[in-house]
Amino acid sequence: MDLWPLWIALAAAAGGAAGAWWSRARTRRETRALRRQIANLEARLEETARHADERWRRQLAFFDHMADGVLVLDSRNRVQLANAPFRRWFRFGDEAVGRPWETLAPPPALTGLIARARQSGRSAEIEFEEPGVERRLLHLVARPFQAGTAPDASAGVVVVAHDRTRLRDLENARRDFVANVSHELRTPLSLIRGYVETLLEGPLDETTTRRFLRTIHKHTQRLAFLIEDLLTISRLESGAQRLQTRRLQARTVAQQALDDLRQPAAERRISLHNDIPPELELEADPDRLLQVFLNLVDNAIKYGRPGGSVMVGGAAGGDEQIELWVRDDGPGIPPEARERIFERFYRVDKARSREQGGTGLGLAIVKHIVQSHGGRVWVESQLGAGATFHIALPVRQPAPRTAVGQATATDHSRPAAG
């Protein structure tokens, strides 16, 4: 019997089976490889997503730490980003992102600004004063933007809020200062004009003429003091001159001020005492320190008790500091005025200060000089029991110092009443 066809058929079947086995094995291998690739791809995608997430968080943290407020709205007016300053200033919660703009109860002025920017396709800006105690002034600029280059790309709006409160306060302070200066100049000037006009009108007896001339002289001097103090303030603030510091004895500088003010003190029968220990030394600008003593002792004489006493003292404090003080036994300073007397033109008793030839700038100058030495000044007082002005100053000055102004050390006595 011829078995060949059977062998051939068997061989073909075996070959077929082997082929199928190989092919299945290859498919399995390929599937495994594919699975591995998919797993790799997934891991890479996860990694990329994690990186993107981290980058976004970093960017958000960066936005949150900006000084300006930033708000981004998408084309459907949903909040895409509202950084921390923006949320704080407009009292939006942390969950503002993702929410429709109207649901945040935004101020109508801000909604109007955004609508204007959208409609015009151009930047729009407003100044917005935050309600509440702080009355923060914000400058808001809304700018439309196109997310992408396609014509149908969605359009959003970005709003940047810049805090202008400090600028406004400075501007107000400048305006108040100019108004105050004008007022201070106008008063003595109109008095002088009045007296001169009366003198011009007709002959007056010798005694009245002399009295008028004395009054004119007093107000002219007041004007001169005011201008001198204004110049000192202006030089101090512009930093036109450097602090010329050297090691000096506080007692010696204080004594110079007391000597300069001996006459006005005698006029009010006030005795002057220097109790600063001679060993008390510090690094300071002698002219500036003299100006501090002159202004404080001058005040103590002007506002102190007639027939009373003024004492200058000092002691070494901790932390490389020394403390100096000027004490009088006058009427003292009411509690509500103790901070404010260091402001320019602030006076407890306006009429009294003017009568004494005060400019309202003496303590502002003291504060400026003390602060430029890295120190501080404050007052302690009991009504009816006098006032003590304290100055804490560092013993050593870092070199080089910042600039401060020039003070005049001559004729600091103010015109007496009369």
Instruction: Please check whether residue 85 is in contact with residue 96, taking contact to mean a CB–CB distance below 8 angstroms.
Output: no
Least Cα distance to 169 among 134, 125, 128 occurs for 134
Shortest Å, Cβ 409 to ligand ADP: 17
User: What is the dihedral sign for C-alpha 394, 395, 401, 404?
Assistant: positive
Spell out the alpha helix ranges (H) of 162-303.
165-201, 206-238, 250-260, 262-267, 286-303
277 to each of 239, 258, 289, how far by Cα in Å? Answer: 32, 15, 16
CA–CA distance, 294 with 253 (Å, rounded to integer): 10
Residue placing its CB nearer to ligand ADP in the complex, 360 or 375: 360
Residue placing its CB nearer to ligand ADP in the complex, 42 or 349: 349
Residue placing its CB nearer to ligand ADP in the complex, 140 or 333: 333
Within 8 A by CB and 6+ apart from 60, the residues are 81, 83
Give residue for tokens 């006595």: 413
Structure tokens at 332: 């003292």
Shortest Å, Cβ 359 to ligand ADP: 4
Shortest Å, Cβ 258 to ligand ADP: 15
DSSP 28-61: HHHHHHHHHHHHHHHHHHHHHHHHHHHHHHHHHH
Shortest Å, Cβ 361 to ligand ADP: 6
Residue ranges in contact with ligand ADP by CB under 6 A: 295, 299-300, 303, 328, 330, 333, 341, 347-349, 353, 358-364, 387
CA–CA distance, 340 with 349 (Å, rounded to integer): 13
Q: H or E stretch including 402?
A: none
Shortest Å, Cβ 408 to ligand ADP: 15
**Which SS3 state, helix, strand or coil, does residue 21 take?**
helix
Shortest Å, Cβ 166 to ligand ADP: 25
Shortest Å, Cβ 328 to ligand ADP: 5
Least Cα distance to 348 among 364, 367, 333, 365 occurs for 333
Residue placing its CB nearer to ligand ADP in the complex, 73 or 300: 300
Shortest Å, Cβ 337 to ligand ADP: 7
Residue placing its CB nearer to ligand ADP in the complex, 158 or 333: 333
Greatest Cα pair distance, the chain, in angstroms, is: 173
Shortest Å, Cβ 128 to ligand ADP: 37
Q: Count of CB atoms within 10 A of residue 403's CB?
A: 14
Residue placing its CB nearer to ligand ADP in the complex, 60 or 348: 348
Residue placing its CB nearer to ligand ADP in the complex, 144 or 331: 331
Q: At what angle do helices 362-372 and 206-238 cross, to 10 degrees?
A: 30
Residue placing its CB nearer to ligand ADP in the complex, 73 or 387: 387
Residue placing its CB nearer to ligand ADP in the complex, 245 or 299: 299
Phi, psi of 404 (to 5 degrees): -140, 175
